[in-house]
Amino acid sequence: MNNGVYSFRTCLRLPEQSIFRSTPLSFRFRRRFLVTASLTEKKKEKVIVISGPTGSGKSRLAMELAKHLNGEIVSADSVQVYRGLDVGSAKPSLNDRKEVPHHLVDILHPTEDYSVGQFFEDARQATRSILDNGRVPIIVGGTGLYLRWFIYGKPDVPKASPEITSQVCIELAELQRNDDWDAAVQLVVKAGDPKVQHLAVNDWYRLRRSFEIIKSSGSPPSAFRVPYDSFREQGDCRVADGSDSSDMTTYSDATKATNSAELDYEFLCFFLSSDRLDLYKSIDYRCEDMLLGGDGILSEAQWLLDTGLHPNSNSATKAIGYRQAMEYLLGCRQQGGQSSAGEFYRFLSEFQKASRNFAKRQLTWFRNERIYHWIDASKPLETVVNFIHDLYRDGSGSLSVPAYLRMSRDITNPRIAAKLKSYRTKNRHFVTGEDCLPILEWIKKTQK
């Protein structure tokens, strides 16, 4: 076992002179030997992975699957790990969590950072625990890098000792207190990692981590090979004869392209998507819904500000929705608790646009992840659940995705691109100036 990737080598030592007078070891014998070896190899445990763009319905699908398969859910969402960030992360309700056990939800305070490496360790541990209890692990979320590391493994980057961690914190502490980001970046560049110049401003966590790796190993993070890259190269070799790999439709197609024999588990991966126009409309409505009532995303953003956090300052406050809401409320506070309808609608528009752009990035990311089956999210939930249930129970590993469930990976259709270019948001709750008056009143009372 190495970096979450399992390797199997079989060595057969033959005598220099053949023990058979007529011919050397025959092809038939070699084939019989390999078949016997494969039959004795331990059958891998199955893990279901469900992803999709924001608002695609993946959480609902995971819940129903868990009920049908005696499963437990492991969240692969970088925001759901935080307590108090419920609305903006579309966190499963308390009732849902009572009905089906959920892991990696509400495990951190928003002041704490969370990394893909931490997720890998936590999610793999949760998966092992679920399997040991005789249940089915269902990993669900839209954070692409989390899922990539979970499936393929993490780089063998050295963990910093407590002494190095303390040393790095001391060297960067004063620069961070003075908000001298540029000077901190140059410090790490001189230490040996020029790529930190491309980090998002004030991404202190990744800057510290790069500095720790350099001090621990003498090399920058980019010097360590990511297991996924090896699988991708193998997959590129497997997709031969110039055929388009973007619409593989069978389980065997997907697994062959990723050389799944070297993975720790038998991963059954699904990407739930729908027509882009329908998806964008759903996202816009969802953003509106998050602003309704007195305990929506604005209330959660207020709480983040009251804890002393600033927009875009750490993992929690970079999250889409929370960053825009915090920036909006800060502006209201600077105006003595005042906001015009125009300012509110500008905030809402930025929130919706950022969410749509995130969905577009998710589609692009997962289009290149060949291990996933793409499924049409507009199809009846029961139909999708039954298909995945049957695939999980099937032992042949060759069940194809039915044409009526299949969703094309092609997101570059010129006709669709033209419609998307002319897309304009049409709200259903916030249309006129009067529609946002309750929110403006709330701001007047709470943001002075």
Same domain, 230 and 219: no
Last residue of a domain, one of 199, 223, 247: 223
Please indicate, yes or no, if residue 401 is contained in any of the structural domains.
yes
CA distances from 64 to 131, 138, 389, 393 (A): 19, 11, 10, 16
CATH of the domain at 151: 3.40.50.300
Same domain, 90 and 193: no
Please indicate, yes or no, if residue 40 is contained in any of the structural domains.
no
Same domain, 233 and 313: no
Same domain, 108 and 151: yes
H helices of 141-275, in order, are 144-152, 162-177, 181-191, 204-217, 227-238, 251-257
Note down pLDDT in tens along the chain; length 448 residues: 444 444 433 343 334 444 333 444 443 434 443 444 444 456 889 999 999 999 899 999 999 999 999 999 999 999 999 999 999 999 999 999 999 999 999 999 999 989 899 999 999 999 999 999 999 999 999 999 999 999 999 877 777 888 888 888 888 888 888 888 999 999 999 898 899 898 888 888 788 888 988 988 888 888 777 777 766 665 544 433 333 444 444 444 544 445 566 889 999 999 999 888 999 999 999 999 999 988 899 999 999 999 999 998 889 999 999 999 999 999 999 999 999 999 999 999 999 999 999 999 999 999 989 899 999 999 999 999 999 999 998 876 666 789 999 998 876 677 777 878 888 999 999 999 999 999 999 999 999 8
Please indicate, yes or no, if residue 197 is contained in any of the structural domains.
yes
Q: What is the spatial distance between Cα 91 and Cα 220, in angstroms, rounded to a whole number?
A: 36
Same domain, 311 and 436: yes
- For residue 444 the two structure tokens come to 């007047």
When divided into structural domains, the chain yields a total of 3
Last residue of a domain, one of 191, 208, 223: 223
pLDDT digits (tens, 9 = 90+) for 2-40: 444 444 333 433 344 443 334 444 434 344 434 444 444
Q: Can you give the length of the chain in residues?
A: 448
DSSP per position, 224-238: SPPHHHHHHHHHHHH
Same domain, 305 and 442: yes
Q: What is the spatial distance between Cα 407 and Cα 283, in angstroms, rounded to a whole number?
A: 19
Please indicate, yes or no, if residue 18 is contained in any of the structural domains.
no
Helix (H) or strand (E) holding 137: strand 136-140
Question: Maximum Cα–Cα distance for the chain, whole Å?
Answer: 97
Same domain, 184 and 251: no
Q: What is the spatial distance between Cα 77 and Cα 90, in angstroms, rounded to a whole number?
A: 10
Q: Which of 282, 323, 283 is nearest to 300 (CA)?
A: 323
Please indicate, yes or no, if residue 133 is contained in any of the structural domains.
yes
Please indicate, yes or no, if residue 9 is contained in any of the structural domains.
no
- φ and ψ at 366, to 5 degrees? -75, -15
Q: Does the predicted model carry a pTM greater than 0.85?
A: no
Same domain, 204 and 317: no
CA distances from 8 to 35, 155, 259 (A): 15, 19, 12
142, burial (CB in 10 Å: exposed 0-12, middle 13-18, buried 19+): buried
Q: Which of 67, 25, 59, 86 is nearest to 272 (CA)?
A: 59
Same domain, 216 and 329: no
Same domain, 117 and 64: yes
Q: What is the spatial distance between Cα 351 and Cα 357, in angstroms, rounded to a whole number?
A: 10
- For residue 361 the two structure tokens come to 């990035």
Range of the domain at 267: 46-157+225-275+366-414
Hey, CA dihedral for 236, 239, 244, 246, is it positive or negative? negative
Last residue of a domain, one of 182, 198, 223: 223
Same domain, 268 and 285: no
Please indicate, yes or no, if residue 91 is contained in any of the structural domains.
yes
**Alpha carbon 138 to its chain's center:** 14
Same domain, 307 and 336: yes
Please indicate, yes or no, if residue 92 is contained in any of the structural domains.
yes
pLDDT digits (tens, 9 = 90+) for 323-366: 999 999 999 999 999 999 999 999 999 999 999 999 999 999 99
